[in-house]
Amino acid sequence: MALTMERIPGSVKQMGKRGYTVMTQKEESLFQGKDIDAWAVYIMSRLYARFKYFVLANGECWFENGNDAFHVCVFEAPLYGFIIEYAEGRTEDKLGMAEDGDQYPLFDYDTPEEMLQAMCEEIEGNKSN
């Protein structure tokens, strides 16, 4: 059975509802026809395989990273990509005060694997014991 956005734990709440927007010609050229949903499925499925995760009551999915946690969000127009949020701890009050990490716009990467490697380097650099 293929992994889709609907089959990713917590993805409907975590990834947000998709709205359709009209891209400018410049945005279209930067985006290069890349399917953000396909990239999200690829990246999230590999993160689920690599890290322990937990889903909050509100549907958000967080990954364990040492004593801390991280969360991957999708952003759309105009950049189309992902951002990682980090929390210093795994309690709900700490998760509510998560801070943004680097942004990963699709136009900066040729493949989702290349983006995943960059994300994992950042995640490992933010790991606490």
Look at strands 68-75 and 53-55 and give their pairing. unpaired
Portion of the chain with pLDDT greater than 70, in percent? 71
Distance in angstroms (rounded) separating the CA atoms of residues 70 and 116: 14
- Each residue's pLDDT tens digit, 56-93: 888 889 999 888 999 999 887 667 889 999 998 888 78
The strand pairing partners of 69, in sequence order, are 64, 87
Q: Which residues contact 34 (CB under 8 A, 6 or more apart)?
A: 80, 106, 107
Give me the domain span that covers residue 55: 5-125
35: pLDDT confidence band, cut at 50, 70 and 90?
confident
Distance in angstroms (rounded) separating the CA atoms of residues 113 and 10: 22
Q: Total structural domains in the chain?
A: 1
Which amino acid belongs to residue 41? V
| Strand ranges (E), the chain | 53-55, 61-65, 68-75, 81-87, 99-105
Q: Which one is predicted more confidently, 43 or 35? A: 43
